[in-house]
Amino acid sequence: MATADDSLVQPPNTYTLVLPPGWARIPLRYGTEGAVRRILDRSFAGLPRDEVFTYRRDLEAQLGEQIAKARADHGLDLYLPVELVHGIALPASFLVAEFRTDGADDVDPSELALFLASSEPGRRIVEIGGVSAVRTEITAPADPAQGAEFPSRRVEYQVPVPGDPVLWLAVAFSTVTAEDPEGEISSVLVELFDAVMTTLRWSTR
């Protein structure tokens, strides 16, 4: 049985984020179907079911594709805007996944973060959830051959899990725009994502 002192040093096994209004979380391991159903019910609340059946079916199919891709990327949770802003659907999402730095268990995570931050342009060290994390930002061009019709702006945080020498979270944000990916809308969405990341907290359940 663990003592009170032991519990203080146990690695956390979950995290929390404070989401802005209009965003929702889709867990990818448990409770996925219920989360999708709640999003669909919320999106079409108050509308005649027979009149929106086709739109609901199409949205459910789109969510299914996003979920399948997120699971293929070892995702834990997918976060999406589910409400319109000034009548416009926000072209953004972010994925929380986990990865292990196998073979690096004897390397301090903060030292590994410094190494990762110096390995490529666009990377820097930030403090997230009480640990040193790596923030990367890039602009990706359109690539119709890969299904990317428009350029995208992407931000990723690589965050070591406290108390575990090899477990990290990768939190990857993307926003797509037909206009300048460095423009005002994408910049506001990146700022919003950065603000969400400052709320990351660890806990044990």
Q: What is the mean pLDDT of the chain?
A: 85
Element (H, E) at 96: strand 92-100
Tell me what the mean pLDDT of segment 34-60 comes to.
Answer: 85
What is the token pair recorded at 57?
Answer: 């079916």
| Residue 9 confidence (pLDDT) | 54
Cα separation, 140 vs 150, in Å, equals 9
Residue with more model confidence, 196 or 59: 196
Domain membership flag for residue 9: no
The lowest-confidence range among 58-67, 135-144, 146-155 is: 146-155
Using CB atoms within 10 A of its CB, is residue 1 exposed (0-12), middle (13-18) or buried (19+)? Answer: exposed
Cα separation, 45 vs 47, in Å, equals 6
Which CATH number covers residue 106?
A: 3.40.1000.10
Tell me what the mean pLDDT of segment 28-35 comes to.
Answer: 94
Tell me what the mean pLDDT of segment 27-50 comes to.
Answer: 88
What is the token pair recorded at 172?
Answer: 């990857």
Which residue type occupies 127? E
Domain membership flag for residue 119: yes
Domain membership flag for residue 4: no
**What's the pLDDT tens digit per position in 7-22?**
445 678 789 999 999 9
State the pairing for strand pair 131-140/123-128: antiparallel
Based on the structure, what is the number of domains in the chain? 1
> pLDDT-derived band of residue 36, with 50, 70 and 90 as boundaries?
very high
